[in-house]
Homo-oligomer: A and B are copies of this chain.
Amino acid sequence: MTTLSELNGCDAATFTDRLRGIYEHSPWIPERAAAQRPFANATALKLALQAVVSAASLDEQLGLIRAHPELAGKAAVSGQLTAESTNEQAKSGLHLCSAEEFATLHKLNADYNDKFGFPFILAVKGPDGQGLTRRAIIATFTRRLKNQRTDEIAECLRQIKRIAELRLNDLLGITLDFGPTIMQWCETLGAWSDTDNSTNEDFDLTCAYMTPAHRKTAAQLLDWMREAGMDTRIDDVGNVVGVYCSDAPGAKTLMTGSHYDTVRNGGKYDGRLGILLPIAIVRHLHRRGEKLPFHFEIVGFAEEEGVRFKSTFLGSNAVTGRFDPSLLDQTDADGVTMRDALLAAGHDVTRIPAIARDPAQLLGFVEVHIEQGPVLLEHDLALGVVTAIAGSSRYLVELTGLASHAGTTPMNMRKDAAAAAAEIVLLVERRCAQGASLVGTVGQLQVPGGSVNVIPGACKLSLDIRAADDAVRLAAVKDVLDGIAAICARRQVEVSMQQIVDASAAPCAPRLMQQFGAAIERAGLPRFDLLSGAGHDAMAMAAITDVAMLFTRCGNGGISHNPLETMTADDAELAAVVLLDFLRSFHPA
């Protein structure tokens, strides 16, 4: 065990020697960082070491990668690993591989080396500091084998930095106050799904509005909030609300929160992190008997993703008084209305309007959320301050052609709805590649009841176009809609479209962004600002109060809305430290 002050105080050679095991067989890394001492905290030290890796030449970087052993490779078998590697690989149970697993890993190692010319690197301690399962390791290995070389060099360097972070935590005896609890809570909620996972090897987390899994999740959030010392309730749209009350006379309310529903087969952190992280903070404050000079209210929003019904932001729209009651007549895929779904869960839909908050009582709304994209990851940063939430336009498109026999209808006499849809998919892709922050997606695509031998008479698809700049977005939407009309006219296919979202970009409040930025810098990190391409509850909340968002780094290349979505306990810890600091030093104006 070493302390930061020892590392700051010793000579450069000792510094390098103490950190010898952090970056595998690569003492040049601490050597180059030594001159930057003293470091204000461990985070600053980690970042300095990472910066040396990033600034190194490609040859040095490849040398660093190649200094690592193969996973469960020959070196492991013959005992040539560093002590750190041996310990890490053992924690993952890699030494317990079955013959089949060994053979698979052997083949993957060989294929990977053939393709890239360096060994596969993976931090086998998982996001929560526990060992990844052998299944997860093999799945990640298989997936990354398909990457391009440049992407894979970058990914290996990130994994090496993560391994170094974990080793440095051990070396300095750093314990995390919040991160492990938050990660464990995410695991608990992430195990409750609408899907039957009993026969599914790949666990599918789907938590749609007012399903049994959803209601179980709400009840658990309520329990955790209560145990943390909050006044709690579940409102009539399903939001789970906890208030950590202030003693201050005339105290107003600072709100935070995010959603607890998920997309189909989604990630464990999307939404939930923004509820669980502040609960962990309140628990900490409550245990210390520490009060805030304002009421701190956490809302677990019941619905944001729009999976079950054709509508999004049900929870936050209710809080802002913008819940559209006509939505209660919408039906899910089984024909159940939203009204009946709420009724079955014991909610009184007539009381939804009463959920609306009085804007005069609010100090603002802040939301912690996983980035769901690759920007922080590519900048080697745990946290970022959101500047604005991109505007978005969404449509459902139904194409009607003419179903006919696949074998007997000449190619030039067809009215193929799927072929029209195919042109639309590629049009969206092409048009939306023409703008910096512009993205366009056809996420739903289906020939209803299609048969192999029938020309598609119908095709349904969705359209989602977003940009930071509303004018850029609306110009792309116009081009895409014009293109759809032209495609359908040429193919004699009918089109009907329904716009389901038209949300302007929502800028974050500079006064809140500034306070987040300052707290980030106090934690030893640089302030980094970025746009949110995704919509968030904060976008809805912006209708009644100032908003700001704190993004956390998203692993695995920034994948989200996917079981591969991941983050680390260290990043959760940093986000909690920053939010706690933000709350303690919060000033309304």
- The DSSP consensus for interface residues of chain A is loop
Q: Is A384 an interface residue (CB 8 A)?
A: no
A443:B452 contact, CB within 8 angstroms: yes
Interface string of A410-430 (1 = CB under 8 A from B): 111100101101111110010
Chain B nearest CB, measured from A326 CB (Å): 20
Contacts of A459 in B (CB 8 A): 445
Interface string of A457-469 (1 = CB under 8 A from B): 1010010101000
B413:A442 contact, CB within 8 angstroms: no
Q: Which of A510-549 contact B (CB under 8 A)?
A: 532-535
Interface string of A371-413 (1 = CB under 8 A from B): 1111000000000000000101010100000111111111111
Q: Is A359 an interface residue (CB 8 A)?
A: no
Across the interface, A306 reaches (CB within 8 A) one of B306, B411, B452, B558, namely: B452
B407:A390 contact, CB within 8 angstroms: yes
Cα distance, A432 to B494, chains bound together (Å) = 24
Chain B nearest CB, measured from A87 CB (Å): 32
Q: Is A297 an interface residue (CB 8 A)?
A: no
Interface string of A440-478 (1 = CB under 8 A from B): 111111110111111111010010101000000000000
Contacts of A305 in B (CB 8 A): 451, 453
Cα distance, A394 to B452, chains bound together (Å) = 8
Which residue of the partner chain B has the closest CB to A306?
B452
Cα distance, A278 to B79, chains bound together (Å) = 81
Which candidate, A91-99, A103-111, A559-567, is the interface stretch facing chain B?
Answer: A559-567
Cα distance, A396 to B453, chains bound together (Å) = 12
Q: Is A433 an interface residue (CB 8 A)?
A: yes
5 closest cross-chain pairs (CB), A and B: A373-B408, A422-B425, A406-B441, A407-B533, A407-B534
| A residues apposed to B, CB below 8 Å | 143, 146-148, 263-265, 305-307, 371-374, 390, 392, 394, 396, 402-413, 416, 418-419, 421-426, 429, 432-433, 438-447, 449-457, 459, 462, 464, 466, 492, 494, 500, 532-535, 557-562, 564
18 sampled A-B residue pairs with Cβ under 8 A: A146-B492, A263-B454, A264-B449, A305-B451, A372-B405, A373-B408, A394-B452, A402-B562, A405-B533, A406-B439, A406-B441, A406-B466, A407-B466, A418-B442, A418-B445, A419-B426, A426-B426, A444-B451
